[in-house]
């Protein structure tokens, strides 16, 4: 099973961030431009939260608020669950399932070094399963 470090090396470590005082509409534009479902919220170079499409849907749209007026800090998830590079894909999948979250920032010491989505993890699990199937088929045919 791959570690988070290995997965980030293959995927890339680019993290899209926004400040907590930016308006929600700015976060939505950035998510659309970068084709991501969440942004890391940084304040003073430190992880302050995560804002996702889910936060927007539940805390703005369903409450009839305007994304032009609300700062990111009002709807972001401030209690962020993070993982470390040495953790495994399986550990991350379990954490996401248990906590019902879709994005995991990766922290090495105090440095933000990546972010994983549920899609990243599912893709990796499928690739590993396909490799196992190919190995078993090869074994059977020999």
Secondary structure element (H or E) that encloses residue 113, with its range: strand 111-117
Residue among 51, 100, 96 at smallest CA distance from 73: 51
6-40 confidence digits (pLDDT tens): 999 988 888 999 999 999 999 999 999 999 999 99
* 91, 124 contact by CB (below 8 A): no
pTM for the full model?
Answer: 0.85
CATH number, domain of 132, equals 3.10.580.10
| pLDDT tens digits, 59-105 | 998 888 889 999 999 999 999 999 999 999 999 999 999 999 999 99
Q: What integer is the mean pLDDT of 121-136?
A: 88
In the chain, how many domains are there?
Answer: 1
Q: Taking every pair of C-alpha atoms in the chain, what is the biggest distance, in angstroms?
A: 66
Structure tokens at 118: 């549920």
Q: Confidence class of residue 110 from pLDDT cuts 50, 70 and 90? A: confident
Rounded Cα distance between 80 and 106, Å, is 11
Instruction: Please give the Cα distance from 95 to 83 (Å, whole number).
Output: 9
> Could you list the residue range(s) of the whole structural domain that residue 40 is in?
4-141
Say if CB 47 and CB 100 are below 8 A apart: no
* 12: helix, strand or coil: coil
């Amino acid at each position: 099973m791959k570690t988070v470090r290995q997965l980030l090396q293959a995927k890339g470590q680019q993290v899209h961030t926004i400040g907590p005082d930016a308006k929600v509409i700015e976060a939505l534009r950035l998510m659309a431009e970068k084709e991501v479902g969440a942004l890391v919220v940084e304040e003073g170079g430190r992880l302050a939260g995560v804002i996702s499409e889910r936060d927007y849907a539940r805390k703005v749209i369903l409450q009839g608020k305007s994304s032009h007026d609300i700062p990111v800090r009002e709807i972001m998830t401030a209690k962020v669950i993070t993982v470390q590079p040495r953790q495994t894909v399986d550990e991350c999948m379990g954490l996401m399932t248990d906590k019902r979250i879709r994005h995991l920032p990766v922290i090495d010491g105090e440095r933000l070094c990546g972010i994983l989505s549920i899609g990243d993890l599912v893709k990796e699990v499928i690739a590993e399963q396909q490799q196992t199937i190919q190995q078993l088929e090869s074994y059977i045919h020999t």
